[in-house]
Structure 1
Amino acid sequence: MLSQLTAFLSAFDLASPLALLLLPLPLLAARLMPAEAAGGSGALKVPHSLVAAAARGESVAARGRARTLLIWTLWAALVVALAGPRLVLPATALPASGREIMIAMDLSGSMERRDFSLDGETVSRLAAVKRVGADFIRRRAGDRIGLVIFANESFVSASPSFDTATVARALEDAQIGLVGRSTGIGDGLGLALKRLAAPEGEGKGEGEGTPPGNSKVAILLSDGANNAGQTVPRDVAALARELGIKVYTIALGPRDLANADGEQDVVDVEALRDIATITGGKAFRVKTTNDLIAVAESIDELEGGRAKAPPVPLRRDLWPWPATLALLCAAALLAARRAT
C-alpha cells in the first residue's frame, strides 16, 4: 500500500501550481473589505421555514456550519481543478530513424497475373505485394512513410505519416483499375519525389513535420515498361539525384524484355536498373514471392540504423475530479437555498 502511494505521489504533477495561491483569497477579501458603517439601520426578515425549523428544535447554527463547509469545499475544488492536477507516466520508447520513405507501386493491369504463390496457393502479383509490402511498412515504426499508386494516372494513396499501420492498410486496400491499367513509371516516381521534396508542413498532417537530419528514400516497384504519363523515367531519376533522394527499384515478374518470348507487358529491368544507378540506390529483381520477401528484408537492413527515441511522457489529467466535486457542492448549496 505504501509503495503504491509513493508511486502515485512521484507521478503526481500540477500544470499550473501557482493557481494554489488563490486558496486564501476569500479570507483576504473578507479581511480587506470595509465593515458596515455603525449606526446603519437594517431589518432582519426571518423566513417562515427557519421559524418552523426552530420550532422543531433544529439547530440553525449547525446548518450554517454545513453551508460554510460546502462553500469552502466548492472554492478549494475549483482552485485545485484550475491548478491542473495530472499524472505523468513514462511512455515506451519507439524506434526512430529520421527517414522519410515514399513507396511508388505499379497498379497496372498486369499486376492481376497469377504467377506468384502465398501459403501454397497461386495468387496474383498484387496479392503478393500487398502481403509482403504491408509487413515491411508495419516494421518501419519510427519512419515517416507514404504511398503512391500509379498506372495511367498517379495518385497519393497515403500521405507521408508516422502512422505506419494506416499506410499499410492503404496498400492492402489498393485495387487495380483505380488509376487506369497502363504503366506510367515516370509520373509515379515523380509524384513520390514531389511529396518527399515538399517543404516542411506542406501536404503533411498536424505534427507530421520533417524530422531533423532525415534521409529521404523512394521505393519504386513495377512489373512493366513505361508506356503512359508525361515524363521520362530517366529524367525523373536525374531530378531525384539533384534532390539527394535515393531510389530503390524492384523489377517484378518472371520474365523481362530480355527474355519475353513474345509475352506482352513484361518488366523493363534495364530501365529500373538505370533509375537506381543514377540516384545511388539499388536495383532488385523479383521473380517469386521468396524473392520479394528477401528484397523487403534487404531494404530494411540497408535503411536500418534505428535507435530508441527518448520516451515522451504521457499525461493523464485529473482536473475533472475536483471540478466534479465543485459542481456537486454548488448543486447542494442551490438545493439548500431552495429548501429555505
Structure 2
Amino acid sequence: MDFVPLLQATGILVALLVLSKIWMSKTGTQAPEPKGAWPIIGHLHLLAGQTPLFRTLAAMADRHGPIFTIRLGFHRAIVVSSKETITECFTVNDRAFMSRPQTAALKYMGYNGAFSAFGPSDDYWREIRKLTTQDLLSNRHLESLKHVRALDVDLSIKELYLFCIKNECKVKVSEWFRQVTMNLMLRVIAGKRYSFGDNEGDKEARQFARTMDEFMYLAGVSECSDVIPGIEWLDLQGNVKAMKRNGKEMDYFMSMWLEEHVQSRKEGKVKKDERDFMDVLLSCFPEDGDGLVFGHKSQDIIKGTALVHSNSLPSLKSIFFFFASHL
C-alpha cells in the first residue's frame, strides 16, 4: 500500500512529460536540440567534461547550425554562434533576451532580487534603470563629483610619495592601483575612503576588499539549484553556504555606510555639490525602510543599487589614463 502514492505520482509525472512533448511539437518551429539529454539534468553532463565549454558548444554548432537549444536542468537555453543572429537577438528582439532567472547568488547576496544587475526584466528593473540613468549616472551628477575624484587622485599620489620617502621597500604598483581604484569608486558611491596603513582603517579596507573579491567570484558560480530547483538544501559544493556568509559580510558594510548617510542627513552635513550615490538614493526612497517598493524594502533597494555600482570598478587601463590626465 505504501507504493500506491509513489505510483500515482510517477504516473502523473509521465503524463505531464508526454503532454509537454505534444504541446511543444505543436507550437511551431523549434530550434534543433542535440541528442543525449538526460532526465532532470538535461545536457549538463555533456558540458562538464575535460573539453573546454566553448569547444563543446562549437562542435554542437557545427552539427546543428548557428542557433540551437540545450537543456540546463529544467531550463532551456538558446546557443547562438553567428554574428547576424546575435545582432538580431540584441537589436530586434532585445526585450526578449534582457531578462535573467532567479539564482541563489541573487537571493542570498543580492538582497533577494534588489540587486538589479542580475535580476529579471520586470517593473522594478525598469524603474531602477531609469533612476540610474537619470540621476546616478547623469552627466550633471557625475560632473558635480569631478572635483571629488580629482582630489582623491591628488591625495593618493601624495600618500605614495610619503610612503616612498619613509620606506626603502619597493611598491607593488598593481596593488597600489587596485587600492586607488577601490577608493575612487567608494568615494563616488558611499563617500568612503580607506587608508591602507598599519591601523584599524587598513584592517577594514582589506576585509572589504576580500569580501568584494569573494562576491565577484560567487556571483559567477553556477549553483546546481539554479538549474534543478528543489535541491538547494543539498548544497553539494558548499556554494550556498558561502553565498549566505558573503551576503552577511557585504551587508555589514552596506548597512554601516547607509546608517552613516542617514545620520549625516539628520545633522544637515550633506553638501549639495558633494552628494554621492547613497545620498541621491536616500532622496528617492523613504529613510525608514518599512514600506515596500516593488516588493522590496527601500533600504534593501538602496544597498542593492549601491552594491551594483560597487562592482563596476574601472579597469587598471582606464584608471591609468585617468591618472595621466591629472598629472
* TM band (smaller chain): under 0.3
Larger radius of gyration: 1
Which has more strand, going by share of residues? Answer: 1
Which has more helix, going by share of residues? Answer: 2
TM-score, normalization by structure 2: 0.18
Structure number with higher relative contact order (C-alpha < 8 Å, ≥ 6 residues apart): 1
